[in-house]
Amino acid sequence: MMKNQVMQMETEVVKIFSMDYNEQEEALEVEVPIPLAKKETIDVEVYTDWFVLRAMRTDKEDADYLGTFNLCCSVDGEKVTGTFEDGLLKLSFPLDDPMRPKQVTIT
């Protein structure tokens, strides 16, 4: 191997398939088991009715969790909250009422 060549490491992707949820009047309460995940690396991207979850594992430097999940209805992605304890990620997705009028600012 030449000095200038950089060795690239491949990352093993551990797909997340399971999610439990409970539909409340005002929010969807979601639980996703991600054992051995590093809390500080958990990344959740929320879209209108689905989300993507990524996290690194504590037991392997070259393994990441990855999951894409559909939700039953539209949520307010700006108000999602979450906690992580004992390998269980708990997310609360406030429901977005599509019939509620949204105020438009004219500039």
Tell me the per-residue pLDDT of 49-86, one tens digit each, with 9 for 90 and over: 999 999 998 888 777 999 999 998 899 999 999 999 99
Structure tokens at 64: 């990441």
Q: Does residue 3 carry a pLDDT above 70? A: no
Q: Is the CATH number 2.60.40.790 carried by domain 12-94?
A: yes
Structure tokens at 74: 């539209």
CA distance 72 to 95: 10
Q: Does residue 6 carry a pLDDT above 80? A: no
Burial string for 60-75 (b: 16+ CB within 10 Å, else e) reads eeeebbebebebeeeb
Q: What is the pLDDT of residues 11-40, one digit of tens each?
A: 688 888 788 989 888 999 999 999 999 999
CA distance 43 to 4: 33
10: how many CB neighbours lie within 10 A of its CB?
6
